[in-house]
Amino acid sequence: MYGYRIDQWGAEPTWQPLPDPVVGPGEVLIDVEACGVGLTVLNCINGDLSNDPARLPRVPGHELVGRVIDGGPGTDTLVGRRVVAYFYLTCGACAMCTAGRDSLCERLGGWVGVHTDGGYAPRVVIPAHNAIPVPDDLDPLSATVVPDAVATPLHVSARAGIGPDDRVAVLGAGGGVGIHMVQVGLSTGAAVAGLDIVEAKLTQIERLGATAVDSNDLTNLDASTLFADGRPSVVVDLLGSVEATRWGLDSLEPGGRMVALTTFRDRLVQIESREFVFGEISMIGSRYATRAEVAEAGRLVAAGDITPVIGVVRGPGDVLEIHEELRSGTVVGRGALDWSKT
């Protein structure tokens, strides 16, 4: 079979012949139908999660969707099912995993597409524990938003306790996670303002029923103008810049919560502890999603409660074009690799 493989961290994957994957105990073999493509996969390729040369060569692509066609002993119930991959290679047995807090696994083995091969190949083997069934009638391309772009906002919503009394400002709202964060926020009954700088993204945010806000001049954007009845009670920061984080903290109403998702190094924001005390504000980290949230994301998308926003779809021969479009910042929502276009 042919697929994309990384031979050096930080270099683009190349199209090359690959060995047929062999399923082992506790594993399943997946016939890949599609794979989501977002900024996280570019970070993985760049070596930001791990740049260990011993992990190479590697097939990237953690947002894979496909049918299980074979499996090791004890995986019979998965064979024939459409599944998505859970990104984190969790142990399933530690205190965090058994408490349903999978993304905080105490014995984390790494990530799909970094420590094991991913969906940039037509067939892949992953641990059976990482194969999460989705409704069989869910279209594979639509399902590419499930394991990350929708599941991550569900986790954010749970971490921040977003509800109908909230006013939620989403920074970077037109990207793959952001555009689905807008929808998850709206689904709770909250008022949502989506901040972005690209006209096409602002149009999509408005189409979904949120308030679209041009944030080209974030420094001078007055948060009190976003909602009719007060400042944001929740700010979700998908940008992670010093400017965005400072704006978010300054924009919260008393008692508000700011949620950070990015993991960039060396982006330091000065804040005095008195700001937290006088405003009684909170800053919350949100790390990926739980397995249960991934399954719930599949149900929401299949039911039509969340609309997949996929701005660009390419066949295997053109996946590097998606990478370039993502880097340009022009893709509305997620990108997707469609293996049916082979």
Tens of pLDDT, residues 25-74: 999 999 999 999 999 999 999 999 999 999 999 999 999 999 999 999 98
Contact assessment for residue 311 and residue 103, using Cβ atoms and an 8 Å cutoff? no
Look at residue 313 and tell me if it is in a domain: yes
**301 occurs within a structural domain:** no
* pLDDT, average across residues 95-110: 97
* Six-digit token string for 326: 């993502």
Distance CA 194, CA 179 (A): 8
Read off φ and ψ for residue 27, nearest 5 degrees. Answer: -125, 165
Model confidence, pTM: 0.96
Q: Tell whether 18 and 105 lie within a shared domain.
A: yes
Indicate whether 186 and 97 sit together in one domain: no
Query: 28 and 107: one domain?
Result: yes
Q: Is 312 exposed, middle or buried (0-12, 13-18, 19+ CB in 10 A)?
A: middle
Are 15 and 106 spatial neighbours (Cβ–Cβ below 8 Å)?
no
Are 24 and 107 found together in one domain?
Answer: yes
Can you tell me the mean pLDDT for 259-285?
93
The answer to whether residue 302 is domain-embedded is no
3-state SS, residue 119: coil
Are residue 320 and residue 265 in the same domain, yes or no?
A: no
Domain that holds residue 90: 2-144+308-341
Residue 21 counted as domain residue: yes
The 3-state DSSP class for residue 54 equals helix
195 and 279 co-located in one domain? yes
| Residue-wise pLDDT tens digits, 190-237 | 999 999 999 999 999 999 999 999 999 999 999 999 999 999 999 999
H/E segment holding residue 248: helix 242-251
Non-local CB neighbours of 328 within 8 Å, separated by 6+ positions: none
CATH code where residue 75 lies: 3.90.180.10
Per-residue CA distances from 118 to 2, 217, 260, 307, 321 (Å): 13, 38, 26, 25, 19
Mean pLDDT score of the chain: 96
Q: What is the C-alpha separation between 281 and 237, in angstroms, rounded? A: 15
User: Is 218 found in the same domain as 95?
Assistant: no
Contact 338, 322 (CB under 8 A): no
| 291 is a domain residue | no
Same-domain check for residues 131 and 160: no
**Residue 27 per-residue DSSP state:** E
Q: Say if 221 falls within a structural domain.
A: yes
Q: How many domains does the chain have?
A: 2
Question: What is the identity of the amino acid at 241?
Answer: S
In angstroms, the CA 149 to CA 36 distance is 9
Whether residues 255 and 165 fall in one domain: yes
Q: What is the pLDDT of residue 342?
A: 74
Q: Are 171 and 145 in contact (CB under 8 A)?
A: no
Do 140 and 14 share a domain, yes or no?
A: yes
Name the band, by pLDDT with cuts 50, 70 and 90, for residue 265.
confident
Provide the CATH number for the domain around residue 167: 3.40.50.720
In the β-sheet with 167-171, what is the strand arrangement from edge to edge?
Answer: 211-214, 191-196, 167-171, 234-237, 257-260, 282-285
Query: Is residue 263 scored above 90 in pLDDT?
Result: no
**Residue 323 and residue 215 share a domain:** no
Q: Is residue 294 part of a domain?
A: no
| Residues 272 and 179 occupy one common structural domain | yes
Short-list 319, 236, 286, 323, CA closest to 2: 319
pLDDT of residue 137: 93
* Residue 296 resides in a domain: no
* Residue 293 three-state SS: helix
